[in-house]
Amino acid sequence: MTPMSTTGLVVVVLAATVALLAPPSMASVTTLWPQPQNVRSGTDSGVTLAKESFKMVAAPGCVSSALLSGAMERYMDIVFDFGAGGAAAVGAEAPGSDFSTLSVLEVCVASSDESLGLETDETYKLEIDGSATASLQAESVYGAMRGLETFAQLVEYGYTNDSYAIAATPITIGDSPAYPWRGLLVDTARHYMPADFLLHVLDAMAANKLNVLHWHIVDAQSFGFVVAEYPELSKYGAWHPTAIFTQAEIAAVVAHGKSLGIRVVPEFDGPGHAAAWGAAPDLFDVVAHCPAYEHNINNIPLNPASNVTFDVLAAVYQAAAKVFTDDFLHIGGDEVVQGCWTDDPTIAAWMREHNLNTIQVYQLFENAMHAIARTPAVNKSVVVWEEVFDNALHIPMNTIVEVWKSASVLKDVLGAGYRGLLAAPFYLDKQIPGLGQGENVPTTSYEWVDTWKSFYGVDMTANLTSAEAKLLLGGEGAMWAEQVMDTNFDSRVWPRNSAVAERLWSSPLVNDPVAATPRLNAQSCRMQRRGIMCGPVAPSFCLLPSDVNRHPLSA
């Protein structure tokens, strides 16, 4: 992406008056996460702000919208996370400081286009001049959201004088993401996590400038997606009658994602990992039945010999299209145990009748799933796992291939002309996530949280030509949920996935884990202040609002 101009973009003006207030204890411009592409800052001066005298408003003559208003309201709460601040600090001694007071944040959005997709412009430019004014510029409301996140991270609370300040002005930040697809895979099939918890996950993602929630909503173990045409899918396939996702709940997740500039891409894995699709008595024949393989529930694929199978697939995709508004649908394609088809007598007879081998059956499913996705009632572009490519199946060239088994496959995918996503080195469930990913990436860690260094050390474009690199859309951290649910999700994902977020946003030259450690600790603290139960990566102290309430500053 190219640096944006300052013409016709989001403008933020912060008026200032002089007050003598101490700067925060943390030089916040050095702790931004993910690290912006370009940062310039000063030294001794700064600005202060207090909730009672500071406001964010849409600038006259610019685009105003509910999305922008909601973002400003949200960031007002984030900025002033310790309360109003300011009043107790007026007149406080601050020898040698030269701080002025911000009173207004004017936001001007240039474009009224609020569509959210792969081409969304998230660039922004933030300028804070401590002596007078500041500006935040972005073409889209989503770029404004990324700039507001950076602005919020710059604001630090001072406990000793109950004040908020931005130090080290003047500050100029020019920023844009390295990749347009920066995702987190959340698996609600292995363990159910309710929709309201997914709203919390989205909030955490926004704090790290991630922009795609890859929702792995069904798998062999459970089918919690409610389909009106086939209610028995979730009635019998879900873990429990309460462990489901209604259309209204999904719509709320999608809407919250859009309010944060985060796309929600669902995955309905097929033809493998399909046992839960056939849990209902009248859908028994939708899946294969293979005694030699049924010891592992993950081995059961869909049944190609039944027309009902494809009717159900169409109904599921159509139901998904009504509530998931993103352009993309992930249709899986991984770990298809082809031997299960030949071990099922009915399917084996059907294959002989039609002179088909297992790869041809695999191809038949890919053809059908892609065709259904292209129908007017669905109208989605498709993402698949790498096995579809590994098995040399024929798929449309506009398919996105997600590489999860080995990063070395990525070059082959991109070299063949497909767009690609990289998940292989970003598996959050693995004890040795960097294994095989390169000599500069640690393969194991004494303390498991230090696996973030494996994610951080990934070279996204290793061994790629410039033409291949242009087809790499980004990647995803993947939190498979065999041992994860909402009660331990935060501590398993964060702040380790923050390392993935920076790898997908920042310059590839920002790759030193030693230099990143204090910034990541600061980011972890910010997330804790927002109610995200993540932990530190090194010894430190994180001041929380509860600490101040427990030990208020003496008068």
The first and second tokens of residue 371, run together, are 């065709």
Handedness of CA 246, 248, 253, 254 (dihedral sign): positive
* Contacts with 273 (C-beta within 8 Å, 6 or more apart), sequence order: 219, 220, 298, 300, 301, 332, 334, 335
**Residue type at 94?**
A
Query: What is the secondary structure of 513-554 as a DSSP string?
Result: HHHHHHHHHHHHHHHHHTT-----SSS-----HHHHHHSPPP
Active site residue 335: yes
Asked if 271 and 317 touch (Cβ cutoff 8 Å), the reply is no
Instruction: For residue 383, give Cα distances in angstroms to 204, 370, 468.
Output: 24, 10, 18
Asked if 537 and 513 touch (Cβ cutoff 8 Å), the reply is no
| CA nearest to 474, candidates 120, 182, 213 | 182
232, 249, 294, 335: which is the annotated catalytic residue?
Answer: 335
Beta-strand runs (E) in 211-282: 212-218, 263-268
Local structure of residue 243 (DSSP, 8 states):
S
**Residue type at 534?**
C
* Contacts with 552 (C-beta within 8 Å, 6 or more apart), sequence order: none
Half-sphere exposure of 46 (CA within 13 A, CB side): 26
Label the pairing between strands 124-128 and 171-175: antiparallel
* Contacts with 394 (C-beta within 8 Å, 6 or more apart), sequence order: 363, 366, 367
Place of tokens 């930040």: 173
Kindly list the catalytic residues.
335
